[in-house]
Amino acid sequence: MKLVTVEEMQEAEKRSGVPVPQLMENAGLAVAQEAWLLLGELAERRIVVLAGPGNNGGDGLVAARHLQEWGADVTVYLLKPRDKKDAVFAPLLKAKTPVATAEEDLPTGQAGAKDGYKWLEELLAGADLVIDALLGTGRARPIEGALAEVLDRLRAARGRPLAPRLLAVDLPTGLDADTGAADPHCVGADATVALGWSKVGLHVLPGSQLAGRVEVVEIGMPKELESDVWTELMTARWARGALPERPPGANKGTFGKALVVAGSPRYVGAAYLACMGGLRAGAGLVTLACASTIYPILAAKLTEATFEPLPDEEGYLSAEAAHTVGQALARDYDSLLVGPGLGQEGYVRAFMRALLPLLKGLRGVVIDADGLNNLSKVEGWWKELAAPAVITPHPGELSRLTGLPVEEIQSDRLAVARGYAGEWGVTVVLKGANTVVAAADGRARLSPFANPGLASGGTGDVLAGAIAGLIAQGMEPYEAACLGVYLHGLAGERVWAELGDAGMIAGDLLVALPRAIKELRGE
């Protein structure tokens, strides 16, 4: 599913060649059809259309006209008066559609008073459906004044027994279409009709919770404009088509070889989870390169992996170990994962610095966790990379890499991930609710999953291993990162459904990963 920003949507509308009145007519008809589907029938159903002064309000007025023609009992409530000659408003006046304005709904001399808006409250109390067409994607300022009052009364009505359903036009009023941030007055909808393409903010928390069910409708935008939209939502259909093939006559070499460099005395489990993530994602062979000090512990637990014991300093890898890893890579590995549980001692920083130039010939390298934490102390680290790279930071790790506050990163996750992917020439997997995957060339995908059960230690190690396993199977690093994120999220959803979100642990994902793949294949 294609996702657009406000700027991209505005540019597409300009380039579409379709007149704005026609786009508005198409949008309003689509909204009316979705309202009909939401109610099931229209006869004697009371619908209130809250319409703002702009094009979003115009879409709502077109929807009101159609719904009244189809038999619904429609009332229009205008935030501001409209010109009686307005092309989308005049037909409603001609049809004698009941119309009120916020200005008329106040006691004389009491503009903005809390005791106003009585007509609105009565309309909302008796409504079966409310259509929110107050503001569209162009909102830039905090909501205040009459608009805030209208939304507050809508929220109150939605909190009562037998509350009206709410259908938002393009996005709930007060929701940022680019970031998903919500104004305090924003009211969550049951469904949102996304016009032309869905908006990024409808798929990023808190926007994804406030939008309800998102239905994307055609409004006449030329199909060829989609080629300029570089952001997508990951879907099951896409993931099914992206899965690597599993030919019946395959051997373990068919599915690639991944080398995992992970673990230290304090984080032995990270190495285990990363290796098993790669195996459960379908890699033919996973080899763990770990400090010789912790090798006996992991050898007893990881029966399906092979091993490359490395020289270490008190359990931590050093620059000397980088050359051993380089020699191992020369023995025909397809992908490398480095970082889970390595620790942040000075030895490890030297190891990471020495390793970067030794990665030539790899299909892709995944750098995770302490691999990133150590690189954050190496100036210009990305210039030393000798292979296509995927980095998998959570917001705190990306903050250390960039120097940006976590709050700034979280305020516009897509823009930040995309910006640094381009600057560093890597694929960035910005983990968290609705994980963002951004490629160096500007492509980006958003995960549909926001699962609090995944907020526990080790789940990121499983994800990093899965991505490395998919690269080993022949996937291009960006595509492998996207599919890894989707499979990881789907596995988490299945564990959540079975166990709940409290107490889910990383190990639960290991069995769920192949089940998620099996589910996608329809087996």
Domains and CATH numbers, the chain: 2-229 (3.40.50.10260), 252-521 (3.40.1190.20)
Q: Look at residue 332 in the predicted model and tell me its pLDDT.
A: 86
Distance from C-alpha of 38 to C-alpha of 190, rounded to nearest angstrom: 9
Q: Look at residue 72 in the predicted model and tell me its pLDDT.
A: 97
Q: Look at residue 140 in the predicted model and tell me its pLDDT.
A: 67
pTM: 0.94
- Helical segments of 412-476, H only: 413-424, 459-472
| Residues linked to residue 217 through DSSP beta bridges, in sequence order | 195
User: What is the enclosing helix (H) or strand (E) of 436?
Assistant: strand 436-438
Distance from C-alpha of 356 to C-alpha of 342, rounded to nearest angstrom: 15
Q: What would the two tokens of residue 506 be?
A: 């990383």
Along the 523 residues of the chain, how does pLDDT read in single tens digits? 999 999 999 999 999 999 999 999 999 999 999 999 999 999 989 999 999 999 999 999 999 999 999 999 999 999 999 999 999 999 999 999 999 999 888 865 555 556 689 999 999 999 999 999 999 887 667 899 999 999 999 999 999 999 999 999 999 999 999 999 999 999 999 999 999 999 999 999 999 999 999 999 999 999 999 988 999 999 999 999 999 999 899 888 899 999 999 999 999 999 999 999 999 999 999 999 999 999 999 999 999 999 999 999 999 999 999 999 999 999 889 999 999 999 999 899 999 999 999 998 899 999 999 999 999 999 999 999 999 999 999 999 999 999 999 999 999 999 999 999 999 999 999 999 999 999 999 999 999 999 999 999 999 999 999 999 999 999 999 999 999 999 999 999 999 999 998 999 999 999 999 999 999 998 7
| Residues linked to residue 438 through DSSP beta bridges, in sequence order | 428, 444
Helix 477-499, helix 459-472: angle, nearest 10: 140
3-state secondary structure of 357: helix
CB of 471 closer than 8 Å to CB of 334? yes
Q: Look at residue 139 in the predicted model and tell me its pLDDT.
A: 67
Distance from C-alpha of 442 to C-alpha of 418, rounded to nearest angstrom: 6
Nearest to 50 by CA among 137, 139, 149, 177: 149
Say how many residues make up the chain.
Answer: 523
Nearest to 306 by CA among 260, 273, 355, 350: 260
Taking CA atoms, 45 is separated from 39, 59, 165, 191, 373, in Å, by 8, 20, 12, 18, 59
Q: Look at residue 385 in the predicted model and tell me its pLDDT.
A: 93
Q: What would the two tokens of residue 246 be?
A: 């599993």
Q: Which position has the token pair 């016009």? A: 195
Amino acid sitting at position 336: L
CB of 63 closer than 8 Å to CB of 49? yes
Q: Look at residue 407 in the predicted model and tell me its pLDDT.
A: 97
Distance from C-alpha of 266 to C-alpha of 289, rounded to nearest angstrom: 16
Burial class (CB in 10 A: 0-12, 13-18, 19+), 324: middle
CB of 294 closer than 8 Å to CB of 315? yes
